[in-house]
A and B are shown apart, each in its own frame.
Chain A
Amino acid sequence: MPRVKVKRNNPSLDMTPMVDLFFLLVTFFMLTATAREEEVVIVDTPSSVSEIKLPDANVITLTVDKNDRVFFGVDGQQTKKALLDKIASKYGVSFNEKESKTFSLLSNFGVPVNQLKSYLAMDGTQRKNVNQPGIPLDSTNNQLRDWILETRKLNQKVVIAIKGDVDVSYSTVQKVIETLQDQKVNRFNLVTDMEARPKSL
């Protein structure tokens, strides 16, 4: 009786469809990706059951980190350039074209106006390592108020989002909210993480 021959399959398989799929995915991710914005500070946001999403554009982000520093950020390069001009004329400082360009590329910052020029003159790595003091928002020197006010003048559609750290003391947040309320901004957003809504009460 002859031995039963095991049919040997060729182990190399056709990978073309797999490659096709992979490149399709790569293309998809490349096109949909919005690179994660570089954060000046790492903020651990509290979680909530709210399911409202933050809009993509026209958002002022006020980041409050756990050392009670406030950072200001707005989207739109044109807005930022125009905003810097307004602030510059208000505070009697001037910025050259290069500094204005640098400013328009910043996602957010936390330096007082008088330090802004030297901050913008730094190069990327230096800027990353410098310790930003935060934007002053005392009642005597409330620069945050001006930043928000000028942005709102430039862009009426702007939405204000507060991104606070879990551990920041309420008094700082209160100051930020008061700054907003002074300008009759009574509706704003708090950036939170996702949390499951409890099933039963």
Chain B
Amino acid sequence: MAEIQEKASSGKGGKKRAKKHSTKIDMTPMVDLAALLITFFMLTTTFSKPQTMEINMPVKEDNPENQIPVKASNAMTIILGEDDKVFYYFGLGAPEENPEVVETDYSAAGIRKVLVSPRVKSNPKMTVMIKPLETSRYKNMVDILDELRITDTKKFALVDITDTDKQLVKTKLGQ
């Protein structure tokens, strides 16, 4: 044991040899740099393109007489109110129909349940009209369009709100 150590320590004193340089280089800084670059590019890359939702608006008819009115039995109206409120009723909302306005919400148990209910699902002619109030948020509109997509409701239209609808919401809220 002792001998070996002696030999090791007195290496300098022996024969003079050409000093052999190790061919290995320390690559740690290089790896550090590479990792840093990877992190940078990973973070700045927009990896996923933004999602979009396609929406087709009904073509505006130039002369309204050509339009075929929806039958009241095949119509459902969803009104988007402020503070994320949703109201819906069946029918066209004419005062003589005396529509029953129901308030609901955007949760799975709210408007989605209505949209999958037999009254909507089993009627292939059922047209859903979405009428956002001016005070509603853009998110509400996207949410309701999303619900329609989830429930696979094909016939729907984004319609301007009418005064009668506003009045209906007012009376509903006034109760």
Contact = CB atoms under 8 A, between A and B. Distances in A.
Interface of A: 12, 15-16, 18-19, 22-23, 25-26, 29-30, 32-37, 45-54, 56, 64, 161, 163-174, 177, 180-181, 184, 186-195, 197-198, 201
Most chain A beta-carbon neighbours within 10 Å: one of B26, B42, B142: B142
A155 to B, nearest CB: 18
Interface in B113-164: 116, 132-143, 145-146, 149-151, 158, 160
A108 to B, nearest CB: 14
Interface of B: 24, 26-28, 30-31, 34-35, 37-38, 41-42, 44-46, 48-60, 80, 108, 112, 116, 132-143, 145-146, 149-151, 158, 160
A96 to B, nearest CB: 33
Given A25-B34, A48-B145, A56-B49, 14 more contacts: A29-B45, A30-B37, A36-B45, A47-B146, A50-B52, A168-B138, A169-B136, A170-B80, A171-B134, A180-B57, A181-B60, A190-B52, A194-B48, A201-B150
Closest 3 CB pairs of A and B: A29-B41, A22-B34, A189-B52
A48 B53 contact: yes
A172 B137 CA distance: 10
B29 to A, nearest CB: 11
B35 A191 contact: no
A201 B151 contact: yes
